[in-house]
Amino acid sequence: MTQKPEVTGFFDPRTWSIQYVVADPATRRCAIIDPVYDFDEKSGQTAAINAGRLLDFIRTRNYEVEWILDTHPHADHFSAAHYLKQQTGAPTAIGERVKDVQTLWKGFYNWPDFPADGSQWDRLFTDGDSFKVGSIDAKVMFSPGHTLASVTYVIGDAAFVHDTLFMPDSGTARADFPGGSAKALWKSIQTILALPDETRIFTGHDYQPDGREPMWESTVAEQKTKNIHMARCRTEEVFVAIREARDRSLAMPKLILQSLQVNTNGGRLPVPESNGVRYLKIPLDLLKGAPWS
């Protein structure tokens, strides 16, 4: 019988992100997945409001944090992984292909001395790796397409797919970021949909179509039959055409250039300069051709 972790989602309306605490009720051990570190691009302020929500919840449940996991280097929010490691001592992890993303963005930011070796995390997972959350078995599936490094965490009967599938009424994630590929995304989704039909699917974002309440849980069966892209696209060719056409109409995320320099460094903010102030570096005209919002 497949083990069933307790999954609690925390929606961040500023970035439409869902962060997860995934717990083994038998051992009270948990993993945190895709935590958000708050950033206001208008004022430049940072804060640990979302991370604080997670920590408060974990304390009230008397959980012990065993893992801090990111599914990929996010393009629309800062990762709170480094902050949460400082608070809990738990190890951080991400897919080992993050090194490819680091190499790509190291060039974009003109960082010749940046270590693009994944050393910013405590563990780099490869496809098929296994680990545990308490007594619950977990495995890693390489799920590229949205990024070069995206992974899916399957913990018991729950799959955390982040930017591959959205809720069925929202379809699939974009694949036009540097290193993205609609063809790779199609293959990754097929692997996810090959999981047992009853597998719970947890997404990393929800954009609340038609103003509905935030939602983030479905099943493999529901994604197969109701997802507005996957139910319609029966072949890779059709999917790629629809996905690429949609992506050409999308503006870049407002925080992509800010977020990648933090998230390729494991969620660490830039080092303060001689005046004690931290500065972000924004390359101009890097993403030429993207629609203006």
Q: Which domain CATH number covers 106?
A: 3.60.15.10
Give domain status of residue 293, yes or no.
no
pLDDT band at 293 (very low <50, low <70, confident <90, very high): confident
Give domain status of residue 166, yes or no.
yes
Exposure string of 176-203, with b = 16+ CB inside 10 Å and e = fewer, is bbbbbbbbbbbebbeebbebeeebbbbb
* Alpha-helix runs per DSSP H in 116-249: 182-193, 220-226, 236-248
Q: Which of 117, 120, 116, 187 is nearest to 150 (CA)?
A: 187
Q: Which of 9, 121, 142, 126 is nearest to 67 (CA)?
A: 121
pTM for the whole structure:
0.97
Q: Go through the chain and tell me how many residues it has.
A: 293
pLDDT for 23-68, tens place per residue? Answer: 999 999 999 999 999 999 999 999 999 999 999 999 999 999 999 9
pLDDT band at 2 (very low <50, low <70, confident <90, very high): confident
Strands 29-33, 17-24: pairing kind: antiparallel
Give domain status of residue 138, yes or no.
yes
- Percentages helix, strand, coil for the chain (3-state, rounded to 5) are 25, 25, 50
- Domain count within the chain: 1
The rounded mean pLDDT for the chain is: 97
Query: With contact defined as beta carbons under 8 Å apart, do 31 and 155 qualify?
Result: yes
Which domain, by its residues, includes 220? Answer: 15-261
